[in-house]
Every structure is written in structure tokens, then in C-alpha cells.
Structure 1
Amino acid sequence: MQILDGKNTAQKINDSIREQILKDLESLGRPPRIDMILVGDEYGSAKYVSMKEKRASELGFDGVVHRLEKSSKTKDVKNKVQELNLFNAVDGFMIQLPMPDHIDEVSVLEQIDPRKDVDGLTSVNLGKLFQKDPSAIASATPKGIMLLMENYGIELEGLNAVVVGRSKIVGLPMAALLNEANCTVTIAHSRTRDLKSICKRADILVSAVGMPNFITTDFIKPGAIVIDVGINKATEGNIPVGDVDYLKVAPMTSYITPVPGGVGPMTISALMWNTLHVWKSRSYEK
């Protein structure tokens, strides 16, 4: 069993991003810019945006956090999105989720110019992923997972993959990326019949159901690669727990991600990776 260390891998990717920005800065004339929209002041969302802002600055990105009041209406958020769509200096931007309940999240996300959608949440980018379109921008968490496995030299072609979870943010784009890597992919969820037997056939099992310790040993094929996307509140203590019953499952696997320190650190790095490549492509198109 080998632990897929997201923290160390993210650091490698961050170093590569920083080097590429320094290398291309003179020829491209300006640093990449990523803006962020935060609606309201919910503690977790504000903290996560602060982490992204700090990481972007450390790596050499420009950017602005646009803070909107919790009382903002859907049209107010869409107006800000359109402003950033049209602002040429912004290479990409993202909206911190979740937004307040009264905001029409779907219509706001669909307002984003897909070319600037560095979090990969528009239906255009999701559709392009399933079409294997090279211009697709993948959602940051699935992209981070693929970069993590690539760093460890994991060969995916021909493997059976099961993705438990069907969200637009993780499950569906994860399935598309595994399909692009020539895996045979099954999308499952908490209501799938006989879920355990389906998971037990998986060479790669990705869990994104948001249920603590949901994946137990009887879901696991010996030697499987297990990717735990879950970040759930622990019943005891302050350290979050994943979807996977880690201590019992880990000895059965060939590779596994811990929680914390697995997928989490990769998500911000993948967001910066996406923005870097948008910056390069926009600059070369001019």
C-alpha cells in the first residue's frame, strides 16, 4: 500500500507553476490573473477563498476578490460575472460555492464565459470533457486527482473505474476524465442497487458521497486504487474524516489518498494550473 500524498504533490505542481510564470512573464508581458467572487461571509467559504488568494499571490498570479453582500440578488451576482467576462485583464475567475440559498446558482454559473471558467463548472466545459475536446477546462478537484495519479506514475488505461457520486463538481467530470484516460467507467451513487458488489469490481474507486466512513472493506477489491474526495465533520475531535474507513481499508489497497492531505491540497493547485494554461492560451491567441 502506498499513500498518495497530495500535500507534497501539490507543492511540486506549485513549484512548476511558479517556474512557468517566471519563464513566460517577459514574453507574455504580464502575470496571469485569477479573480474570485465571494457572496456573503460564511466562515468556511471566506477561509477557503483566503487560502486560494494567498496561494495565487505566492505563485505569482495577480487577482482580486470581489466580495458581494449576502443580501445580493441573483441579478447582482450575474452582473459581476458579466463584468469579469468582459474585463480583458482577467484570464479566469471562479465563484466560491455554495452561494446563499436565495441565489439561483445554476443560472449564475452558466453566465460564466466558458473560456474563463477556470473552476470548470459550466455545462459547456462539462460537455466538452465528455467529448474529449482538448479545449475543455476540467473542474479543479477531478483535475487535481488526475494530476496526483500522474505524479505517481499510475497507469490508468484499461482499468475498471467506479465513481461514487454524480455531482457536476466532482462525480461527472471525474468520470469524463477517467473515460478520457481509457478506463471503463461506472457512475454510481448512494441509491445504486448492490453498490458494494459494483465497487468491489473497481480497479479505481473514487468516492465523493460526503458520508463519513461510508466506504468500508466490503466495498474494496484487493489491490484497488482508492481516491477519497470526502471531507466530513468528525464525530470526535476536529480533524475531518473522509468517505473511506481509512484505517481498515488502507491495507487492502495498492494506493490510497488520506484525509486530510490527499485530494484537498490538489484542488487549489489544479485551479492555479487551469488558470496558468488559460493565461498562456489567451496570450498566444493575440
Structure 2
Amino acid sequence: MSIIMKGSEVAAAMKEELLREVEKLAQKGIVPQLGIVRVGARPDDLAYERGAVKRMEAVGIRCKVIELPESISQEVFEKEFSAVDSNPDIHGILLFRPLPKQLDEESVRNIIDPKKDIDCMSPVNMAKVFAGDESGFAPCTPEAVMEVLAHFGIDLKGKRVTVVGRSMVVGKPLSMLLLKKNATVTICHTKTADLGATCRNAEILVAAAGKANMITAEFVSENSIVVDVGINVGSDGKLCGDVDFEAVAPKTASITPVPGGVGTVTSSVLAKHVVRAANYLNGLS
């Protein structure tokens, strides 16, 4: 029977460590603070914001939400963002993306202080991820995958890992993090010829293509480990992943669910990054 790798279990373990780290900072008179920059009020942004604020407050991290009008101009947006970036009380910045069409996200990538860039917008941090330099911040979702694998004792050394998805948000940076742990990584995508055969060759399969239920039982080898990063709305209106969980789970040794898997860990990684940033910015590590 498959082990269901629940994100709540990983997040609970991370919470204990975060509480210890926040207490160490408190003893030095430092309270870590997250600045959330949101343009407009998209329902998915608001839902993630509520969860993130709750997770931060649970471990003693303050949150400051900067809500900007959806019609904001590029000039005013850059001015407001720079003000957040230069605020010494804010240690980490989370910008909800995508931005409205009139705004150029590229300019902000070059504005943000890499030490406050806790979700890897800055080209400096992305370069560090690809160089294997752990002093930077990786995107939160790929790091959440790594936290899940580590928590459940999955040794990556020498393992054949296939990542379905090549985005700069998940697929590519995750592949670099896996390589750092000495996995043998194959990156594929929806245009890969005979995708099923490539996936079946994997001992560990990570689905991050953003297509509901595309990974069926035919894509998975017996007793493999499957990590589902996808968050989609299925034809029944319910939240689902990139993996057809009911069909795939019986073949696997371990599998993450959606909801309740990797996504549950992402906000804990965000909190971990805020704490790291507070240490960096105060010269503590």
C-alpha cells in the first residue's frame, strides 16, 4: 500500500524548527517580517495571502500587506515597490504574480534586493540556484518538493528522477536542486516524444506541467515515488493535481496528494526564507 506523503506532516516538523529560529532572533531584539505586495484583489491571490499570513503568524513572523490598485502605472508601481524594498523592518518580499498587463515584471526583478528576494525573482538568486550556491533563495515550490522528499527519508543520490515541466518557476530550478543532491535528472514536458516511456523509466517522478490528471497509471512504474506539484481545477470543479491520484496511487511506493501535498509546504518554506533573510540582513549568517 502506498505511503501518502502529506504536506501537513512536513509543515508541522518545519514549524518546530522555525519557532526555535524565531526565538533566537527575538533574543537579539529582531522580529522577522514579511512584506506581501499585491496588485488588485484576485481571489487566488487573496486565498494564498490568507494562508501565508496565518502560517507566518503561527511561528512569530509579522506580515505587512501592501495592496496596490490594479490600474496602477509602471512608474508608481516601481516607486511603491522600491519603498517596500528599502524598508529596514521588512526582511522578505513576496510579490503576487502575474502582474496586470500594463506592468513590466522584468524591471522589478532588477529592483529587489536579492537578500529580501525570498521567492527567487532576482536573476542573482536564480543564477545561484543554477550554480548550486545555497546562499541564494530558490523558488518556494521547488524547495517545498525537496522538503517533502527529505522529510520522508527519500535518498536522491544516484536515483533516476524525471521532472515533467520546464518552467523557471518549478521545473528548471527543481531540476537544479535535485542535481545538487546527486540525482540523475531528466527534464521533459508535454512536447516530449513518448512521454510515457520516459516517465516509466523514473524511480522518482515529479509532475509539474500544469495539466490536470495528465499523469495516468500508464506513466508510472511499479513502486516508484510520485510527487504532484500541479494545482488545477478538474472537470468536476474540484481541485486536482497533474496526477490522476486514484489510478496512480496503487502502483506507487509513495505519493503526494492534491490538495494537501506540496502546496501545504510552500508557505512553510516562505516562512523559512523570511527567517533566513532576517539573519542575513542583520549579519547573523
* Structure-2 separation of matches of 1:285 and 1:21: 13
TM-score, normalized by length of structure 2?
0.95
Where does residue 20 of structure 2 map in the other structure? 19
Q: How does 1:1-286 map to 2 (within 5 A)?
A: 1-27=2-28, 29-236=29-236, 238-285=237-284
Structure 1 vs Structure 2: percent identity of aligned residues?
35
For structure 1, the residue ranges without an aligned partner over 5 or more in a row are none
Task: Write the distance in 2 (CA, Å) between the matches of 1:17 and 1:271.
Answer: 11
* Structure 1 Cα separation of the partners of residues 25 and 139 of structure 2: 25
How far residue 95 of structure 1 moved from its aligned partner, in angstroms, is 0.1
SS state at 2:162 partner: strand
Deviations 1:156-183 (A, max 9, x none): 1101111111111111111110011111
Asked if the contact 1:159/1:204 (under 8 Å) is kept, the reply is: yes
Shift of 1:47: 2.0
More deviation, 78-87/56-65: 78-87
Aligned counterparts of 2:259 and 2:134: Cα–Cα separation in 1: 31
**Corresponding letter in the other structure for 2:224:** A
Poorly superposed stretches of 4+, deviation over 6 Å: none
Q: Secondary structure in 2 aligned to 1:81?
A: helix
**Matched residues in 1 for 2:177 and 2:23: separation?**
29
After the TM superposition, which of the residue ranges 94-103 and 2-11 deviates more from structure 2? 94-103
One-letter amino acid matched to 1:269: S
Cα offset, 1:285, TM superposition: 4.7
Q: Secondary structure at the match of 2:118?
A: coil
2:218 & 2:106 partners in 1: Cα distance? 37
Aligned residues: 284
Is the contact made by 2:211 and 2:230 (CA closer than 8 Å) also made in structure 1? yes
**How much does 1:85 deviate?**
2.3
Residue 122 of structure 1 and its aligned partner are, at CA, apart by: 2.2
RMSD (CA atoms): 1.5
- Alpha-carbon separation, structure 1, partners of 2:58 and 2:284: 27
Q: CA deviation at 1:54?
A: 2.2
Change (3 A) 1:24 1:111: closer
Q: Secondary structure at the match of 2:268?
A: helix
**Cα distance in 2 for residues equivalent to 1:20 and 1:274:** 11
CA distance in 2, matches of 1:225, 1:83: 44
Deviation readout 1:64-90 (Å, 9 max, x if unpaired): 100000001233322222222222221
- For residues 44-68 of structure 1, the C-alpha deviation after alignment (integer angstroms, 9 at most, x for no partner) is 1122112212221221112210000
Contact 2:115 2:281 in 1 (8 A): no
Question: C-alpha separation between the residues in 2 aligned to 1:208 and 1:109?
Answer: 23
Secondary structure of the residue that 2:27 maps to in structure 1? helix
Q: Is the 8 A contact 1:77 1:108 kept in 2?
A: no
For 2:225, give the aligned amino acid: I
Kept in 1: contact 2:115–2:280 (CA 8 A): no
Q: Tell me the alpha carbon deviations over residues 75-134 of structure 1, each in whole angstroms, 9 at most, x when there is no partner.
A: 332222222222222111110122222222233233221111111232221111111112
Question: Do the aligned residues in 2 keep the contact of 1:74 with 1:108 (CA within 8 Å)?
Answer: no
Task: After TM superposition, give the deviation of residue 221 of structure 1 in Å.
Answer: 1.9
Q: Per the alignment, do residues 256 and 110 of structure 1 end up closer, same or farther by CA in structure 2, a change over 3 Å counting?
A: farther
